[in-house]
Structure 1
Amino acid sequence: MRLESFQPQVGVHCETTTLRNMLHHAGARLSEPLLFGLGQGIDFQYWDPPVPGRSAPMLTGRVGPGELSHRACAALGAELCASRPPDADAARARTAELLAAGHVVGVTVDIYHLDYFSSRSHFASHYIALYGLDEEPDDGHGGGLAYVVDTDQQGGAQTLPGESLRRARNSDEGFLPSPNLQMHIGGLPKRLTTDSTAVAHEEIWQAIRATAARMLSDRGPERGLSGLRKAASDVPGWRDTLTPGEELVPGVGRFWRYAGTGGANFRGLYGDFLREARQRTADAALDGPADAFDGVRQQWDEAIDLLLGYGEAPDPGGRLKAVETLMHAIADAEQAAFERLLRLATRRVGESP
């Protein structure tokens, strides 16, 4: 069974792509950057390596899985329903019920088990939008096809074996697994289904203020700007602590660039959100912060390029020091941008009726 009226929506980040597809099918035509901004998705989180010396730390540029969707839906007044059936059979049965009721279903998966994914590493915090399931054969061994939407980088709308989806959903391996988690949109305010410009200025400014306040707050040494500075200071030591560094260091760069969890992609999304917020609010004061995030994204890309070329570098230590310098400069630039946004949003919220 497939949702015949479903229209796949492309995106660059897995959770916002999934959320956009769920909302679009429910009747709310909203952009991915707007959802990212309303969901307060930007962050920095530092996770120690699971195997010290043999694996790299996990450095992510977003909030934790699921937080963005809940915050965005709360800002929009949309009902987000999430559940986690106890096993793979129950999860599939519940998903089939939701599809039959006309819902696009967002599910968390381990990319290792997705046939169309090139990664051979376990990463279980990935989201895809499910819009169809074929009936499985009577032998009970799994089968049929699943119809999903992934990010544009992964090909957008995809078809994969039902058993592949089953394994991916049921996996408890990889980063922050949540086996069989699923979500759907239970209901929308009528204003969102009749007018794509119905997002209130107040909702936008509240999200900007909350994001800036969180990024500037002290949440310990591994979160926000403190986490970014900790990561920067640790980078030069990777030459001695990561073995083999020629593989692990470029692996961090590939992860940041292609997996979507690094700094550049999310900083670009946030800059796009600020530009859309400027258009929706007609507030030219947002031009400066939006331009600032363009510069931040460029700096992230420069750091990623340095990591990707680490194995061939004549001076590997010097290359890592250059990455450290860039990351500290990024932290300074992000702090200045968020301080500016916090002052601006606080004034605008105070001016709202």
Structure 2
Amino acid sequence: MRLATFQPQLGVHCETTTLRNMLHHAGAGISEAMLFGLGQGIDFQYWDAPEPGRGTPMLTGRIEPAQLSRNACAALGVTLREARSPDPETASAEATRLLAAGHVVGVSVDIFHLDYFSSRSHFASHYIAVYGLDDSLAHVVDTDQQGGAQTLPAESLRRARASDEGFMPSPHLHLYVEDLPERLTTDPDAVLREQIWNAIRLTAQRMTEDRGPRYGLRAMRRAASEIAEWSDTLAAPDETVPGVGRFWRFAGTGGANFRTLYGEFLREARQRCDDPELDPFVEDFTAVRRQWDQAIELLMAYPGPHGGRRQLQAVAALMDAIADAEQAAFEGLLVPAAKRAGEPA
């Protein structure tokens, strides 16, 4: 079964790419950056390593998997369906049934089992859009970095969907959209303009709250203090420190890619709403992205414990500065956002 009229939509982040493909096929052409912003996707989260001292914590620059899709669909008035099958056979049969009904199917997978992925590590919070499946082959869309539209053995997809290894696995989870409101296809600009400022308000409120040491800007500052000591606290800093830098650069998990997406969302929001009050915040996130890139470059160029302590201290200082800059930006955004929503800042 393969969707004959499907047209792949490329993107830089797995979940927003998957959601964009599901919505586009259903009749709503929305940019990836807009979906990220409406989905309130930006965040910073700190997840402890399974074996502290032997591995690095997972430091992510976005909200929990699937929550972004839920938020964006709620803002757009779209019905998002989620389900988890009990076993690989049922999961494949359900995907085939949904494809036959005309839906693009979003699935959660472990990248270790995807043939086209060069990484040989388990990461189970990855999303891809399935637009074709039979007994031998699966046709999917991944991020632009992973080649966009890909064909892989159906058995590889079955293993990737079934995996319970890696970060935040969701075996046999699938998503699809249905019941698009008519206005989203006939007057999408109006729908987006109505939802943009509320999404900004909700995001700014969350990012300026103290949600403990695992979430938000407090988590970023916690990460900064620990990164400064990684030369002494990690078992193999020569490997793990540059690995974090590569992961942040190429997977986007640390922050740079997500800050780029949020800046693009604010730029598109400014154009759609014709609201110059957003201009300084677009500039703020451009500057924040540059700081993230600087931190990543320092991590990737880590020279080892003996010469790297000062380098990690520089990374820590950058992350503290990023936290300050993001706090100022979101506090600033909250004022016009609350005003437009008719609520106190």
Structure 2: distance between partners of 1:280 and 1:314 = 52
**Once the two structures are aligned, what percentage of the paired residues are identical?**
67
AA matched with 1:177: P
After superposition, residues 273-284 of structure 1 pair within 5 angstroms as 273-284=265-276
State the Cα RMSD in Å. Answer: 1.1
Report the equivalent of 1:28: 28
AA matched with 1:122: H
Could you list the runs of 5+ residues in structure 2 that have no partner in the other structure? none
Report the equivalent of 1:103: 103
Indicate conservation of the 8 Å contact 2:122/2:166, yes or no.
yes
Could you list the runs of 5+ residues in structure 1 that have no partner in the other structure? 137-143
Report the equivalent of 1:45: 45
Does the residue aligned with 2:50 lie in a helix, a strand or coil?
A: coil
AA matched with 2:195: E
Aligned counterpart for 1:162 among listed residues 142, 154, 159: 154
After superposition, residues 338-353 of structure 1 pair within 5 angstroms as 338-350=330-342
Structure 2: distance between partners of 1:280 and 1:43 = 24
Offset at 1:194? Answer: 2.1
AA matched with 2:20: R
* Superimposed CA distance per residue, residues 160-212 of structure 1 (whole angstroms, 9 cap, x where no aligned partner): 00000000000000000000000100210011112331324331111000000
Does the residue aligned with 2:11 lie in a helix, a strand or coil?
A: coil
Structure 1: distance between partners of 2:15 and 2:28 = 16
Offset at 1:273? Answer: 0.2
Aligned counterpart for 2:253 among listed residues 261, 282, 286: 261
Does the residue aligned with 1:115 lie in a helix, a strand or coil?
A: coil
Aligned counterpart for 1:334 among listed residues 319, 323, 326: 326
Report the equivalent of 2:71: 71
Structure 2: distance between partners of 1:300 and 1:278 = 23
Q: How many residues align?
A: 343
After superposition, residues 101-250 of structure 1 pair within 5 angstroms as 101-134=101-134, 136=135, 144-250=136-242
Structure 2: distance between partners of 1:231 and 1:52 = 14
Structure 2: distance between partners of 1:197 and 1:314 = 55
Offset at 1:54? Answer: 1.4
AA matched with 1:62: R
Indicate conservation of the 8 Å contact 1:40/1:211, yes or no.
yes
Aligned counterpart for 1:322 among listed residues 297, 303, 314: 314
Structure 1: distance between partners of 2:194 and 2:306 = 53
Indicate conservation of the 8 Å contact 2:238/2:305, yes or no.
no
Q: Does 1:303 align with 2:298?
A: no
Structure 2: distance between partners of 1:311 and 1:69 = 40
Offset at 1:276? Answer: 0.5
AA matched with 1:264: A
* Superimposed CA distance per residue, residues 274-332 of structure 1 (whole angstroms, 9 cap, x where no aligned partner): 00100111000001001100000000000000000003697200000000100000000
Structure 2: distance between partners of 1:345 and 1:197 = 19
Question: If the length of structure 1 is used for normalisation, what is the TM-score?
Answer: 0.95
Indicate conservation of the 8 Å contact 2:237/2:304, yes or no.
no
Does the residue aligned with 2:200 lie in a helix, a strand or coil?
A: helix
Indicate conservation of the 8 Å contact 1:147/1:160, yes or no.
yes
Indicate conservation of the 8 Å contact 1:216/1:335, yes or no.
yes
* Superimposed CA distance per residue, residues 247-274 of structure 1 (whole angstroms, 9 cap, x where no aligned partner): 0001111111111211100000000000
Report the equivalent of 1:140: none
Structure 2: distance between partners of 1:195 and 1:163 = 41
Structure 1: distance between partners of 2:191 and 2:49 = 40
Offset at 1:2? Answer: 0.9
